[in-house]
Amino acid sequence: MFNEKIPSLYLSHGAPPLADDAIWTRELAQWSRDLPKPKEILIVSAHWEEAPLAIAATQTVPLFYDFYGFPRRYYEVQYAAPGAPELAAKVRKLIPGTVDVADRGLDHGAYVPLKEMYPAADVPVLQISMPTLDPDTLLSIGRKLAPLRDEGVLIIGSGFFTHNLRELDMSAGFHGVPPKWSSEFDEWGREALAHGDVDGLADFLNKAPSGRRAHPRTEHFAPLFVTLGAAEADIDTQRTVIEGFWGGLSKRSIQLG
């Protein structure tokens, strides 16, 4: 048993150019310094949907550069974190019926933030898929994974608190004034989290202002529900660690526990 329960996180991971943003990279690095160092990391990224729930490579394999049209240097980034076969075995036991995808490396929703938080790549990392975007199902998956926190596992849901790339606006730089639809969704989400309104968050497309505009597709909000399920008992401890906007999108990132 680990000497303390590890928090559960939801973070906004940005695109590969996050690495060029001195503010955001500093915020992620500081966050990890304030956390107890985990024994292992279990991450759920917006960029892997596969059913049934799948486990990525349990040994180190090349990264999955799952993006297009960026400068070459973004495809040369390396993050050779150790695999986590023991953690994978525990996930299989907690969630029977999982499948293995032995050659799938970490996608950018995993390695982009982890490279800033744990640059030494010395913590074993396991990525699992989202078998659905249904909030209730993802909450249930998080609940099943919750015991891992007592064993030193940092559970991370990696998405983007608002995510409408058609309306991404970098004309004012990384940190320009956000559009109303993004700021009002962000404020609604902040309030819902502060009040522990998990039911409201699960119904965000109907309850939140500009819900469908903030998330034309919901895969970047969905990892939040794995995080909330894994830390349901700690909902009262929820706090925002990173806030603000990037290209008009909310980068709100939270910690529970």
For each of the chain's 257 residues, which pLDDT tens digit applies?
Answer: 567 799 999 999 989 999 999 999 999 999 999 999 999 999 999 999 999 999 999 999 999 999 999 999 999 999 999 999 999 999 999 999 999 999 999 999 999 999 999 999 999 999 999 999 999 999 999 999 999 999 999 999 999 999 998 887 777 677 888 999 999 999 999 999 999 999 999 999 999 999 999 999 999 999 999 999 999 999 999 999 999 999 999 999 999 99
Task: Classify domain 8-256 at the CATH topology level.
Answer: Protocatechuate 4,5-dioxygenase; Chain B (3.40.830)
DSSP structure class, residue 69: S
Interior angle at CA 52, CA 163 and CA 193, nearest 5: 40
Query: pTM for the whole thing?
Result: 0.96
Please state the domain extents for the chain. Answer: 8-256
Six token digits for residue 223: 């990892």
Tokens of 198: 């998990």
Structure tokens at 9: 């996180």
Amino acid at 45: S
Find how far residue 191's CA is from the centre of its chain.
20
- Please check whether residue 63 is in contact with residue 149, taking contact to mean a CB–CB distance below 8 angstroms: no
Helix (H, G, I), strand (E, B) or coil at 246: strand
